[in-house]
Amino acid sequence: MSLEHLNYHHLLYFRAVAREGGVVKAARQLRLSPPTISAQVRQLEEQLGGEVFLRAGRSLVLTDLGRTVLRYADEIFDLGEELKTSVRRGADVPGGRLTVGLSMVVPKLVAHQLLQPALALPDAPEIVCTEDKTENLLADLATYKVDLVLSDAPRGPEVAVRAYNHLLGECGVSFFATRELGARLRRGFPKSLDGAPMLVPSSGSALRTSLEHWFQDLGIRPRIVATFDDSALLKVFGASGSGVFPAPTVIEAEIRKQYGTSVLGRAEEVRERFYAISTERRLRHPAVRAICEEARQHLFPPRRPRSG
């Protein structure tokens, strides 16, 4: 069996016969003569070294080899359709397309502010956002399913993906609650958080780790009510009064307005960082450069040193 030069026309005709259930119907669908289709299928069998169909009365049924070949044929031609769609869409958009993988722990309000500069470009690309866990997004980055990953942590050495971390900036953390809960806990902050109902991000996230260290240093043991992968869902529960929740200070005003919550206090010692992770060491895409430059210059101003 030699498959050095697989003839995709043979594969196309075989797939049509398998889908239509016979040579005559496939010939009609492809606008070819039945003998032509039969000859193409026979040539495919010769190349594969085995039969792909068996005759059962007037019908053709797939052999085990035929079922395997059909599965791969479906994948090959489906990918071809995706390629044509992608190229067509890219040609229709002046600035092309930028696919951004958004880690679920990154607040949506932060993501919006990070991506806004790309949309404001004169030749702005179409922004396609996909959300998932960071490790899944890094796998997509390695296979070029996404162009950029926005995360709250850099790619670690344990991740076998060739990618580069670009720090966008950092800020402190604010604690939010409903006005009723905030009125009880604001006085004596942060000690008032001891025993208070708390909504936290999932274990293993950068913010969760920083919070646990901060609580431990201060001798505070809040009552963990719920844990979330999705930062937006965490805020929804917080706005309903389920507990206190942390969020980056840089979006403090937006959280208060959107969720109707109040600020209990701030923890500058708890730092939340945001990264753009790409396969490029030196960023070339205009939209990615705009995202990074705007974040560093305006969204996350440099931390001021403490006086004294």
Per-residue pLDDT reduced to its tens digit, 94-124: 557 899 999 998 999 999 999 999 999 998 8
Task: Give me the half-sphere count of Cα atoms (radius 13 Å) on the Cβ side of residue 97.
Answer: 14
Q: What is the pLDDT of residue 91?
A: 52
* Average of per-residue pLDDT values in the chain: 87
Q: What is the pLDDT of residue 60?
A: 86
Q: What is the pLDDT of residue 307?
A: 45
Q: What is the pLDDT of residue 34?
A: 87
Q: What is the pLDDT of residue 292?
A: 93
Average pLDDT over residues 260-285: 91
Per-residue pLDDT reduced to its tens digit, 13-65: 999 898 888 888 888 888 888 888 889 899 998 888 899 898 887 788 899 99
Average pLDDT over residues 236-257: 95
Q: What is the pLDDT of residue 139?
A: 87
Q: How confident is the model at residue 90 (pLDDT cuts 50, 70, 90)?
A: low
The 3-state secondary structure of the chain reads: CCCCCCCHHHHHHHHHHHHHCCHHHHHHHHCCCHHHHHHHHHHHHHHHCCCCEEEECCEEEECHHHHHHHHHHHHHHHHHHHHHHHHHHHHHCCCCEEEEEEECCCCHHHHHHHHHHHHCCCCCCEEEEEEECHHHHHHHHHCCCCCEEEECCCCCCCCCCCCEEEEEEEEEEEEEECHHHHHHHCCCCCHHHCCCEEEEECCCCHHHHHHHHHHHHHCCCCEEEEEECCHHHHHHHHHCCCCEEEEEHHHHHHHHHHHCCEEEEEEEEEEEEEEEEECCCCCCCHHHHHHHHHHHHHHCCCCCCCCC
Q: What is the pLDDT of residue 1?
A: 45
Classified by CATH at the fold level, domain 95-308 comes out as D-Maltodextrin-Binding Protein; domain 2 (3.40.190)
Per-residue pLDDT reduced to its tens digit, 285-299: 899 999 999 999 888
Q: How confident is the model at residue 80 (pLDDT cuts 50, 70, 90)?
A: confident
Sign of dihedral through CA atoms 246, 247, 253, 259? negative
Q: What is the pLDDT of residue 308?
A: 41
Stated pTM of the model: 0.66
Query: What is the architecture of the domain spanning 8-91?
Result: Orthogonal Bundle (1.10)
Q: List the chain domain ranges.
A: 8-91, 95-308
From 35-49, 68-82, 233-247, the region with the lowest mean pLDDT: 68-82
Q: Quick check: do 8-91 and 95-308 share a fold?
A: no
